[in-house]
Chains A and B, each alone.
Chain A
């Protein structure tokens, strides 16, 4: 058996609560002298431990603020864990927040190349993908418009189309499917499923159990930064739903 594609090894993540954020000299020195830079700690992740194999599709479920997005960010390399280690063997396509790399002053066409570069694709590679992106996002006539004039749905379509080009080894999807109309959501789901057929692993976050059970085989239930349960999405999803549903 091959090595796991993502290895999350006893990862913990500490934040200092921002009520005490010191970002100017005066405060810093005053606090330094008083020795009161208060370490109001908050552990967003607590000793998370799991492995994900190539081709697997895993959903992370849990209430708001339980640490799902923080976990995704440590996997994507945006955050460095306070303790523990994350190993990723392969290329990542993070759909953590759609359109993170957009520059509102540039046109859609220019943004395609900018975002492609953020994902690590060169200009010539992006030229090959360009038609596919225009096609998928259905924005053909708007490609030369600065995207500050776009609606949020149009932005989401463009962002999704760019983020899912090529065949990344791992696709990270964080609640982005909740944007756009139902027709586009279906299209996105299809795109994700066709990518999974090409051996792309999927890490998926959603609050819709229906989507989770549709798309993923395995689910990890997280609560207050710790793993509660890790197993088949159908079973874990059911128990998760019952736990928060008194009736």
Chain B
């Protein structure tokens, strides 16, 4: 254990550099640069809220805000896990030639998505101010669901990264899976609109729990129970670490 920690300490600068690289490359040569992380969710929210409040007439109070909160959580999950999935594959050149703890690549992809979610969160606060919704002190508790989300995505990301090295099919399969998952997460709709048996399925999705906590503390000024989600998240991380650890020595043979 001690050895792992000192190893991490040695490679912490690398984590920083990898995250900086991801962010730099993403916005290089775009005129507005990092501002896009703020603009992008706002524009998406505008489109979706126009579509869904006129076309389907969802009866949800302050729908734009409701939608944006859902989008932030889901987009982070989507972006970070999809990034993590190819983290090992994409850095094959490096892994084959120098010794680097391999989980670092997964962590760096998740972290660089984490930077995006922070600025999306600013977008959310802007929308709250703009729509004159009340800002409650519980908004500071948003750090809890966001941490859950980070840890959960890390766990899933580790599993995906390890599987993708073994089977490239995962990349294609996962994009379908994510689309399905989006409809199984109450991003655009509210869970109470669903028939009972669908509600049951939607509640099995760990993202639903995290999103519900997030909306509760940010929009509704209530503090929900954190226990079930917390346990799920830790289980996801545990499985992720286990799968990754078992697989990592054979990565180089399959790259």
A binding-site residues for B, Cβ under 8 Å: 15-16, 21, 23-26, 28, 73, 76-80, 92, 94, 96-97, 100-101, 103, 105-106, 110, 113-114, 116-118, 120-123
Q: How many A-B Cβ pairs are below 8 Å?
A: 75
CA distance A79 to B248 in the complex (A): 11
Inside 8 A of A100's CB, which chain B residues have their CB?
Answer: 93-94, 96-98
Inside 8 A of A114's CB, which chain B residues have their CB?
Answer: 17-18, 21
B binding-site residues for A, Cβ under 8 Å: 10-14, 16-18, 21, 24-25, 28, 93-100, 166-169, 249, 252-254
CB-CB under 8 A for A16 and B167, given A105-B25, A120-B11, A123-B13: no
Which residue of B13, B97, B168 contacts A97 across the interface (Cβ within 8 Å)? Answer: B97
Most buried by A among B95, B97, B168: B97
CA distance A94 to B100 in the complex (A): 12
CA distance A117 to B105 in the complex (A): 13
CA distance A92 to B99 in the complex (A): 10
Q: Is the CB of B21 within 8 A of A110?
A: yes
Which residue of A15, A24, A25, A117 contacts B17 across the interface (Cβ within 8 Å)? Answer: A117
Q: Is the CB of A25 within 8 A of B167?
A: yes
Which residue of A79, A94, A106, A117 contacts B252 across the interface (Cβ within 8 Å)? Answer: A79
CA distance A56 to B11 in the complex (A): 28
Q: Is the CB of A113 within 8 A of B17?
A: yes
Q: Is the CB of A21 within 8 A of B97?
A: no
Q: Is the CB of A122 within 8 A of B13?
A: yes
Q: Is the CB of B13 within 8 A of A25?
A: no
Q: Is the CB of B97 within 8 A of A96?
A: yes
CA distance A16 to B253 in the complex (A): 8
Closest 8 CB pairs of A and B: A77-B99, A100-B97, A117-B14, A117-B17, A122-B13, A117-B13, A120-B10, A80-B249
Q: Is the CB of B16 within 8 A of A117?
A: yes
Q: Is the CB of B253 within 8 A of A15?
A: yes
CA distance A25 to B167 in the complex (A): 6
Q: Is the CB of A120 within 8 A of B13?
A: yes
Q: Is the CB of A24 within 8 A of B21?
A: no
Q: Is the CB of B13 within 8 A of A23?
A: no
Inside 8 A of B13's CB, which chain A residues have their CB?
Answer: 116-117, 120-123
Q: Is the CB of A24 within 8 A of B11?
A: no
Which residue of A25, A26, A106 contacts B24 across the interface (Cβ within 8 Å)? Answer: A106
Shortest Cβ gap from A166 to chain B (Å)? 13
